Amino acid sequence: MTAIICVFFAMLITLNIFVQRENKRQIDHFVDIVSREQQINRSQFPIGPPAEDMRRGMMNHLLQTSAIVAALSGLGVFVLLIYFSKWAVSPVESSMKKQRVFISDSSHELKTPLAIIATNVDILEKRYPEADRIAHIKPQIARMQELIHCLLQIARADEGEQKIEKAEFSLSQAILETALEFESVAYEAGREFSYEIDNAVNFHGNEGQIRQLCGILIDNAVRHSRDGEQVKVSLKNKILTIYNTGEGIGIDDKTRIFDRFYRADKARGHNNLSGGFGLGLSIAQSIAAAHQTKIKVDGKKGEYAKFSVKLG
């Protein structure tokens, strides 16, 4: 569509140039006739302007007319460009809106059946405590509930429905408590977990979301490190940094790491029940954006990964 408008604009310019040349040719022809008449009988033009002055006047008038025509043509093309751009984008916008509505509606519809399934599994587990397969169902229900929660959060963020209540809170305490929640998880996974957090650092924002952002980054670091690898949490000069050795991040992954459902490690496919959903980092970035900041990523494939976000 843009190419068609550009071609149309080029045709207008070409037509304008052609009209200018034709008018100039007519003016030159007219001025030559007048000039010859003046030379033959000057008494017939006692107060008439010289031929060269007539030429300049008519050329100035032609230039003004051409400029007006060019401006009007450009304005017309600009209006057409806006109209056709909206027309071309409207199907995409409609499709994206339907997709957001579908995600939101389906997530809401799945919550009730999952709650019923979870309740019945609890009843069966009490009635048949020796049945191991019943116990295997509960983690998968928890995974589905987590996925639904993530999808709902993303849908609200896309629709701009997230109402963020901001207030002053202790950032140091929030980061420390979140790190301590993951300390036992990291040790059980065989990671060397450490943290270094500045004291008395405050931040104006939503404490719950900042805790969630920190938790997502720590969980990601634990997931993508190996036995004996390091996971470090630090808050220095109001910059939150989560660092881990292990799988690291490649150059190509840095540009896509925050895409939804993207997984840098293809081995952690959808059939791997221990992996995440590929939504955590996307949610973390949306939380950062809601607080007028951005998560920066650095790393090297097979060596380390570092996520940092400036808070304040």
Same domain? 89 vs 108: no
Count of domains for the chain: 3
Same domain? 143 vs 184: no
Q: Could you tell me the CATH number of the domain that includes residue 254?
A: 3.30.565.10
Asked which of 117, 135, 159 is the last residue of a domain, the reply is: 159
Domain range for residue 65? 2-39+50-94
**pTM for the whole structure:** 0.61
With respect to residue 134, please indicate whether it lies within any of the assigned structural domains: yes
Which of 191, 269, 267 lies closest to 231, judged by CA?
A: 191
Q: What is the mean pLDDT of the chain?
A: 77
Same domain? 28 vs 6: yes
pLDDT per residue as tens digits for the range 40-89: 555 554 545 555 565 566 566 666 666 676 676 667 667 766 766 666 66
Q: Which helix (H) or strand (E) holds 233?
A: strand 230-236
Residue bearing tokens 């408008």: 5
Same domain? 65 vs 196: no
- Exposed e or buried b for every residue in 33-45, given b needs 16+ CB within 10 A? ebeeeeeeeeeee
Same domain? 82 vs 140: no
Query: What backbone phi and psi angles, to 5 degrees, belong to 293?
Result: -145, -175
Same domain? 262 vs 292: yes
pLDDT per residue as tens digits for the range 242-269: 999 988 888 888 888 888 777 766 554 4
With respect to residue 44, please indicate whether it lies within any of the assigned structural domains: no
With respect to residue 45, please indicate whether it lies within any of the assigned structural domains: no
pLDDT at 272: 47
Same domain? 304 vs 188: yes
